[in-house]
Amino acid sequence: MSELSETTLDKVPVHVGIIMDGNGRWTAERGLQRLAGHRAGVENLRAIIRASVEFGIKYLTVYAFSTENWGRPRAEVRGLMRLLAEAIEKELAELNEQGVCIRHLGHMEGVPGNLVKKITDAVEATKDNDRLILNVAFNYGGRDEMVRAIQSMIRDGLQPKEITEERISQYLFTKDIPDPDLVIRTSGEFRTSNFLMWQAAYAEWYITPVYWPSFGKEELRKALLNYANRERRFGKTSDQVKGS
């Protein structure tokens, strides 16, 4: 049973997306190098995965590296790639033990070969787990995803009338994954930065000023409680939603 049900929380979102932002500012406040912030961010991700399992979240999608992040200084990009490879190496056994299934959202072009192999192996090694589906949006961009989907649909010879919302969803990296119910962005930025642009069309957003390395289990609990108190109307009126 979810740890949250004890506290008024009976509406745990099925799918939570997180834009893990603010690692750089977290280090700036401490006089550290940016990479130290990314390292702290990875540590925090481990805690948040564990908390997500405890809270009964079924799907967790984390934004780890965007198609735009290639534009950062080379050393930072390289450092981020190395960190991800290290994290997979260090954490895979424990993730497996917790019943976490790892999926990758994004494409592999430009990604160093050793990291491609680590990601592919991690996906393969955890594919039968189903306690938490952890989607790692790495080398991911919502627009890039859409372009690839359109190219594939044309390649498959689809006719205009066959192009429906459901069909498009099946051509995205998130095929067979329900849309996110809640998207969290840390570090106080009010923008989507190309994250799940199709899938998050009706997500609830939660923006917190807390930087990602400091966004621990209690912060996640706050976000879930906030979500539980919202009314999702999907275009309808409040009366309709309440069934009166």
End-to-end CA distance of the chain: 31
Contact with ligand IPE (CB under 6 A) among 33, 96, 129, 193 = 193
Query: What is the Cα–Cα distance from 242 to 238, expressed in whole angstroms?
Result: 6
Contact with ligand IPE (CB under 6 A) among 60, 64, 84, 182 = 64
Contact with ligand IPE (CB under 6 A) among 11, 25, 107, 222 = 25
Per CB under 5 A, does 91 bind Mg ion? no
Q: Considering beta carbons, is residue 66 or 208 the nearer one to ligand IPE?
A: 66
Per CB under 6 A, does 141 bind ligand IPE? no
Let me know if 194 is a catalytic residue.
no
Please give the biggest Cα pair distance in the chain: 58
Per CB under 5 A, does 181 bind Mg ion? no
Query: What is the Cα–Cα distance from 2 to 92, expressed in whole angstroms?
Result: 24
- Residue 202 CB, nearest approach to Mg ion (Å): 25
Q: Considering beta carbons, is residue 23 or 126 the nearer one to ligand IPE?
A: 23
Q: What is the DSSP letter of 179?
A: P
Q: Considering beta carbons, is residue 41 or 180 the nearer one to Mg ion?
A: 41
Let me know if 156 is a catalytic residue.
no
Q: Considering beta carbons, is residue 65 or 171 the nearer one to ligand IPE?
A: 65
Both tokens assigned to 215: 């966004």
Per CB under 6 A, does 81 bind ligand IPE? no
Residue 206 C-alpha from the chain's centroid: 14
- Residue 201 CB, nearest approach to Mg ion (Å): 23
Q: Please, what's the b/e burial string for 174-185 (b: 16 or more CB within 10 A of its CB; e: otherwise)?
A: beebebbbbbbb
Contact with ligand IPE (CB under 6 A) among 9, 35, 61, 63 = 63
Residue 56: what are its φ and ψ, rounded to 5°? 85, 20
Number of helices (H) and strands (E) in the chain: give both, helices first. 8, 6
Residue nearest to Mg ion (CB): 21
User: What is the strand order of the sheet 132-140 is part of?
Assistant: 100-105, 132-140, 59-66, 15-19, 182-185, 204-207
Contact with ligand IPE (CB under 6 A) among 9, 19, 81, 172 = 19
Among 14-22, 33-41, 46-54, 229-237, which window interacts with Mg ion (CB under 5 A)? 14-22
- Residue 44 CB, nearest approach to Mg ion (Å): 15
Query: What is the Cα–Cα distance from 216 to 5, expressed in whole angstroms?
Result: 19
| Pairing assessment for the beta strands 204-207 and 132-140 based on DSSP bridges | unpaired
Q: Which residues bind ligand IPE (CB under 6 A)?
A: 19-25, 63-66, 68-69, 80, 187, 191, 193
Note the residues at the interface with Mg ion (CB under 5 A). Answer: 21
